[in-house]
Amino acid sequence: MLLFLAILALLCTDAVAAAKLPGPSPYAAVDARNAGAEFDNLPGFTRSRYARDHALITPESRVYTGLFGWQETTAAWFVTPAMAGGPTFSMYQALMRPGASSGMPEPGTWRFVFVMDGKISVRDDLELTDGGGAASGRYNDLTHGHFAYFPADHRHKITSSEGASLLIYEKKYVPPSGGVAEAIGPNPPTPRFLVGYTDDLPNIETPGEVFGLKKLLPQSLEWDVNFHVMDFNPGEHLYVKEIHYNQHGLMLLEGKGVYRLGDDWYSVQAGDVIWMAPYVTQWYAALGYKRSRYIILKDTNRDPINTYAP
């Protein structure tokens, strides 16, 4: 017994001495305050959830396939009309390898491209054909935070010499009708090709709210959609617990927080995608130590009976 106690005392002494040795903490790499909810390598686990009126699609659930008409590109589809709630748009991530190039969207469909990483060039070519054409504009070196809108049936080409990650939205254009058409008047304009940089745009006032808001597209009535970039400092949140007819496709670009969708509450972080059907309850609060930023699609300027009626 004395021998056993002596050995035990020696082990305890060594453990205390080891604890006093200088060096990094073995727990430093899993500090939950800084590491976030990074569970992508946990076998069988995913934070993704698909419901009738919303979906959370996290990076570990993405499935990449070839992209029709594109060269050297794979895509993960986040939102499509195949979903049970009937979204009228598609949202996907395109990964362009060096030397990649784009194809055209379906007839009658506009395309919005947001650069998440890498570098692309955009050729706005109104008369682009397989044999070439007279280029009306070329935009090089579009990087993180740049965006481009291509109206329906507008010929264009996206290329990347270095590789890029793009967030892309596509939707059939809904022309103005009824009261909107009357407000615009005869010979209404149509949406135009547009290139911009997010942080060049001013914040728009949001009475009663605390977040920063940038609208990436013009607000005139010929546009049937807009894309909002919303910034929240840690601790800030939406004041309104929203329920409305507008559908949403959202990607969290920076930060982390909590999103309420219907009666469910989700921990979310940069890289997560959320789809919200019309009339689902929605609310967000930013947590952590850095700002949250997300981009979100919002259909606008159209009577919902023309957007959602069968």
Under the banding of pLDDT at 50, 70 and 90, the label for residue 33 is: very low
Please return the burial class of 65, using the count of CB atoms within 10 Å of its CB with bins 0-12, 13-18 and 19+: exposed
Predicted confidence (pLDDT) at residue 34 exceeds the cutoff of 60: no
Higher pLDDT, 200 or 13: 200
Say which residues have a Cβ less than 8 Å from residue 4's Cβ, sequence separation at least 6: none
Predicted confidence (pLDDT) at residue 1 exceeds the cutoff of 70: no
Q: pLDDT digit string (tens) for 123-150?
A: 886 544 444 333 456 787 899 999 999 9
Under the banding of pLDDT at 50, 70 and 90, the label for residue 38 is: low
b/e sequence 86-98, b meaning 16+ C-beta within 10 Å? ebebbbbbbbbee
Q: Can you give the chain as a three-state secondary structure string?
A: CHHHHHHHHHHHHHHHHHHCCCCCCCCHHHCHHHHCCCCCCCCCCCCCEECCCEEEECHHHCCCEECCCCEEEEEEEEECCCCCCCCCEEEEEEEEEEEEECCCCCCCEEEEEEEEEECEEEEECCCCECCECCCCEEEEEECCCEEEEECCCCCEEEEECCCEEEEEEEEECCCCCHHHHHHHCCCCCCCCCEEEEHHHCCCCCCCCCCCEEEECCCCCCCCCEEEEEEEECCCCECCCCECCCCCEEEEEEECEEEEEECCEEEEEECCCEEEECCCCCEEEEEECCCCEEEEEEEECCCCHHHHHCC
Instruction: Please state the domain extents for the chain.
Output: 47-308
CATH of 47-308, one of 3.40.190.10, 2.60.40.420, 2.60.40.3080, 2.60.120.10: 2.60.120.10
pLDDT of residue 58: 95
Task: Round to whole Å and give the CA distance between 299 and 79.
Answer: 15
Handedness of CA 263, 35, 96, 133 (dihedral sign): positive
State the chain's mean pLDDT as an integer. Answer: 85
Specify whether the CB–CB gap between 287 and 258 falls below 8 A.
yes
Specify whether the CB–CB gap between 283 and 238 falls below 8 A.
yes
Predicted confidence (pLDDT) at residue 250 exceeds the cutoff of 50: yes
